[in-house]
């Protein structure tokens, strides 16, 4: 599916994703499981491929399991994502996403739609 906010794991419950700085670079699709695996996992595990990672999305306040390809870590991921969405890093990623595409705001919960995020989305959409 590869929607905002996409991430992968190696079956250990640790979220692997493009952070704010990396999303500001010329990455074709920062929410592509394949790109995340190609850039982030290849150096950690020899011959790691997209089909050897678990794929998740967090959108509209819900964890979506795209595919489990290794150890089933969904319970660990549930806890990890709940903690992550409360961080400044996630807020920065949200702000960057809506500044690039104002429609990205539709993937955020009401709580994640801070005044700054809403302002960025409106500016990007020209409203």
pLDDT score, position 4: 81
pLDDT score, position 65: 95
- Whether 36 maps to a domain, the answer reads yes
Domains of the chain: total = 1
- Whether 79 maps to a domain, the answer reads yes
pLDDT score, position 69: 93
Domain that holds residue 25: 6-125
Residues of the chain with pLDDT under 70: 1-2, 42-49, 100-127
- Whether 1 maps to a domain, the answer reads no
Strand extents, DSSP E, 10-116: 54-59, 62-67
Tokens standing for residue 74: 């969904």
Query: Closest by alpha carbon to 106, among 84, 76, 17, 97?
Result: 97
């Amino acid at each position: 599916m590869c929607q905002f906010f996409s991430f992968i794991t190696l079956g250990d419950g640790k979220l692997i994703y493009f952070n704010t700085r990396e999303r500001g670079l010329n990455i074709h699709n920062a929410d592509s499981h394949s790109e995340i695996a190609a850039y982030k996992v290849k150096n950690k595990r020899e011959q790691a491929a997209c089909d050897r990672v678990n794929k998740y999305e967090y959108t509209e306040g819900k964890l979506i399991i795209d595919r489990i390809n290794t150890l089933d870590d969904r319970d660990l991921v549930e806890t990890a994502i709940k903690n992550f969405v409360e961080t400044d890093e996630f807020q920065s990623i949200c702000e960057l996403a809506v500044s690039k595409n104002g429609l990205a705001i539709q993937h955020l919960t009401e709580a994640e739609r801070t005044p700054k995020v809403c302002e960025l989305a409106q500016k990007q959409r020209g409203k």
